[in-house]
Amino acid sequence: MKLDERMKQLNELPEDAQLKNDIRKHIEFSRQKTKSPMKWNGWQEIGVAIGIFFIGLFLLFTSSNGLKNHAATEEITGIYSYHNIAGEGFRGRASTLFVGVKDIMTDRTLLLFENIEELPVLEQAPLRFVDHYDIVVVKNGEKHHYELSENYLYDVRNNLIYPGYKEFPSALSDDFTAPHENNHYALVLLIPFSIIFVNMVTQIYYKRRGLKVPEKLPGIGIVITVAMLVLAAVGSYAYFIGPLYRPLLFLLGLLYGGLIWWTVKRNIADLNILKVERVKTIVMVMLAFAWIMMY
């Protein structure tokens, strides 16, 4: 009898829709977390596809049989240039997988380095000229280093000085200078605006849906600190040593996105917010990739 009266009292209580909604979301989130790791969902498949794409791209550019320059000969198989603005130390690399390194092999540059011994040797030249190009010529499997400026072409190995590119025909001069012109400058400026735009869109979405995102996520400070230290290390390497390896930068971008997503997933239970933050993280990583590819 007492049980029937108690049930009658419970049935007469008003329904708490918000409490039911919170319980439902908690149950759904718990089920999502306890899914078998062997069960693939759509986002995992997209992640695997992106990973396969970048692995294939990496193998394509590092393969000795891929993207061979048609101007190559049996002796010279590559000519690469790096714009050394600092003017200190040789920073050229024999691969376009490094940021800022350009493939400058053309029929004209090939002819120049095949017959470089025929150029007149200069007695003196302003070797301390700040702005020059570090050039690597891969000849018979060996790397030959040259420094080229408007006033001189310096053979580092043989310590010989030849006339600079102002003495070359205009077409040959363009082969050295044109690849280093930053034609993507306007597009690079769009990236910060794109980041601001993505954040604005997410905030508007949250406001219209009445979703509350925590202002501070535990652990995000550590992630940002680690990111700043890595960025400082990368900047120091580029300034003091030379150009950075692009695949390494891609991995760092993926690592940063993974750490941000781990922090969000660890502290937010709302499924709608998680979906938005997942898309936002992917977009941020892709913007970072775009920035890396433009240099």
How many CA atoms within 13 Å lie on the side-chain side of 250?
A: 17
Question: Residues near 252 by Cβ (< 8 Å), separated by ≥ 6?
Answer: 230, 234
For the sheet with 76-84, list strands across it.
Answer: 101-103, 76-84, 132-139, 142-148, 152-155, 160-163
Q: Is the pLDDT of residue 71 over 70?
A: no
| 152-189 pLDDT, tens digit each | 899 998 889 999 888 899 999 999 999 988 766 667 77
pLDDT value of position 93: 92
| 222-280 pLDDT, tens digit each | 888 888 999 899 989 988 888 999 989 998 988 888 888 888 888 888 888 888 888 88
CB of 288 closer than 8 Å to CB of 253: yes
The structure's pTM equals 0.70
Question: Residues near 287 by Cβ (< 8 Å), separated by ≥ 6?
Answer: 191, 194, 195
| 10-47 pLDDT, tens digit each | 565 555 566 656 666 666 666 555 444 444 455 565 66
CB of 179 closer than 8 Å to CB of 295: no
The domains of the chain are located at 76-180, 183-293
Mean predicted lDDT score pLDDT of the chain: 80
Q: Is the pLDDT of residue 113 over 90?
A: yes
